[in-house]
Amino acid sequence: MCLGVPAKVKKIEGEWGWLDVNQLLLKINLSLVPGVKIGDYVIIHAGFAIQKLSAEEGESTLELFKQILEIDEK
Amino acid sequence: MNEPEKEKIKALIFCVKSLCHRLPEPVNLMEVCGTHTVAIYRSGIKQILCHKTRLISGPGCPVCVTPNELVDKAIWYALQSHTIVATFGDMFKVPGSYSSLAEAKTKGGKVQLTYSPLEALELAKRNPEERVVFLGVGFETTAPLVASAILKAKEHNLSNFMVLCGHKTIPQALEKIANNPFLNLQGLILPGHVSCIIGKNPYEFLAQDCNLRGVISGFEPGDILESICLLYKQIVEGRCEIEVQYRRAVSPEGNQEALAVLERVFTSSDSEWRGLGIIANSGLSIREEFSNWDADLVYPAQIGKPIQHKGCICGAVITGLKEPEECSLFGDTCNPEHPVGPCMVSSEGTCGTHFLYQAREIENESPVHP
């Protein structure tokens, strides 16, 4: 039930945004993510954007892998 | 899946296997959230884990932990004149003491499925002669949205919209789970979207006071594998902390705007959870200021004492004490077409997930006849 879907903000009108969800344009309420801009990614749940998505990721997995390898080599 | 993603998954599977061998003893990990349960089964992660790891499904399915009483009330509303019950689709087929909203609809009850609480608000605006009772079920992910709808109803002076409030909060239930000696948990995979709202901080007590580590996880297979790695790593290194794997969406302090809206409209109260009983301060009630939109106060449902279904062990399944297959009704009397308990109804319920993915496993294993 707590399903959230990532989506890209394409257009903003007041507290409403038009968001691209797998190439479907949905009208979503943006009032809970103030400061969100066109081009930002958000998570949507039940008609609302509930959080902005940051780009931070990726490196951490690689880092974790390196750490495990180091332990294995010891 | 593109090449870099494949490489990432391969690396994570290597990490999981490598760390699993280093575990000092077998471990019990709980995935709290129903969406994680589905992702774990769908992606085949369960098969990757070594015999030293038991994954237990937790109470993070709002439909499953909602007691019969709330469903009974919703059914009562649906059968009253000039009243429409608006609900998320997840609750439609959930059996209460005697029937479900789906059955109420076949008897002429007015039930409208909505994707968002704002749709229920629009329904009330379009039908001024009808009462619209929105079935407010869900954790911190959903509660701020329902709070927003109540604020808008107040703003527009919409008197025919009201909320039957059954919202619950996750950390208090986890405290009860953490202190259950029969579960003997070594780690929690914590819910990603609840944590988008509440952040990391409300879980810190689990590590500090209950000696139970946790990792807030995203929902992609790679996210879950990485979260399991982080839990293993903590166990191997003897650490007990709350970590965030789902960093792209979860901050330590959560979504302050959503929390402010939630706090404005709701106040914490004791709440009954199926399987866990009444847990102090684990529910959300509508504040007095917004009592005009509280269905329990404006138009109290007249229902009898709720009854439990004979033989259904959903309560024990939700708390991780029993597996669905241990239930005498599982797959036979109780199946997704004819669910007896809520865990079989919800797409995220443990019983429903076991039923669906076990059937697939059997299908894949069966010999192919020429």
Tell me how far CA of residue A18 lies from CA of A15, A26, B247, B274, in angstroms: 10, 5, 25, 38
The pLDDT of residue A58: 46
- CB-count burial class (<10 Å; 0-12, 13-18, 19+) for A2: buried
- What is the residue extent of each domain of chain B? 3-60+170-244, 64-167+254-298
Alpha carbons B216 and B249: distance in angstroms, whole number:
10
pLDDT tens, per residue, chain B with 370 residues: 778 788 888 989 999 999 999 999 999 999 999 999 999 999 999 888 888 999 999 998 999 899 999 999 999 999 999 999 999 999 999 999 999 999 999 999 999 999 999 999 999 999 999 999 999 999 999 999 999 999 999 999 999 999 999 999 999 999 999 998 889 999 999 999 999 999 999 999 999 999 999 999 999 999 999 999 999 999 999 999 999 999 999 999 999 999 999 999 999 999 999 888 999 999 999 999 999 999 999 999 999 999 988 888 988 888 888 999 999 999 989 998 888 888 898 878 899 999 988 766 656 554 444 3
DSSP B366: S
Distance between terminal CA atoms of chain B? 33
pLDDT at B5: 81
Q: What is the per-residue pLDDT for B367?
A: 46
B182 touches chain A (CB under 8 A): no
* CATH code for the domain defined by B64-167+254-298: 3.40.50.11740
What pLDDT does residue B275 have? 85
Residues of B in contact with A72 (CB under 8 A): 18
d(CA B358, CA B47): 12
Does this model's pTM top 0.80? My answer is: yes
How big is the CA angle at B170 (ends B155 and B250), to the nearest 5 degrees?
Answer: 80
Confidence (pLDDT) at B346: 80
In angstroms, the CA A45 to CA A50 distance is: 7
Interchain pair B229, A64: CB under 8 A: yes
- Total number of domains constituting chain A: 1
Structure confidence at residue B263 (pLDDT)? 98
Q: What is the pLDDT of residue A23?
A: 86
Q: Do B337 and B318 touch, CB atoms closer than 8 A?
A: no
Instruction: Return the bridge partners of A67, or none.
Output: none
Confirm whether B3-60+170-244 and B64-167+254-298 share one CATH topology.
yes
Measured between beta carbons, the chain A residues lying within 8 angstroms of B193 are 2-4, 43, 45, 50
The CATH H-level superfamily of B3-60+170-244 is: HypD, alpha/beta domain 1 (3.40.50.11750)
Instruction: Return the pLDDT at A62.
Output: 59
Min distance A9 CA to chain B CA atoms (Å): 16
> B65, B68, B64, B70: which is closest to B136 by C-alpha?
B70
Q: Which of B2, B22, B63, B116 to mutate: most A Cβ within 10 Å?
A: B116
List chain B residues with CB under 8 Å of A53.
248-249
ipTM for the whole complex: 0.89
Give residue A20's domain range: 5-73
Chain B residue numbers with beta carbons less than 8 Å from the beta carbon of A64 are 15, 226, 229-230, 233
| Length reported for chain B | 370
Buried b (16+ CB within 10 A) or exposed e, B224-247: bbbbbbbbbbbbbeeebebbbbbe
B181 contacts: CB under 8 Å, gap ≥ 6: none
If one compares B361 and A49, the residue with the highest pLDDT of the two is A49
Residue B120's closest CA among B295, B261, B316, B257? B295
Q: How far apart are CA A71 and CA B18, in angstroms?
A: 10
Q: What is the pLDDT of residue B359?
A: 65
CATH number at residue A58: 2.30.30.140
Taking phi first (over 0 means left), then psi (-120 to 50 degrees means alpha), and beta for anything else, what does residue A19 get? beta
- Please tell me the predicted confidence (pLDDT) of residue B361: 64
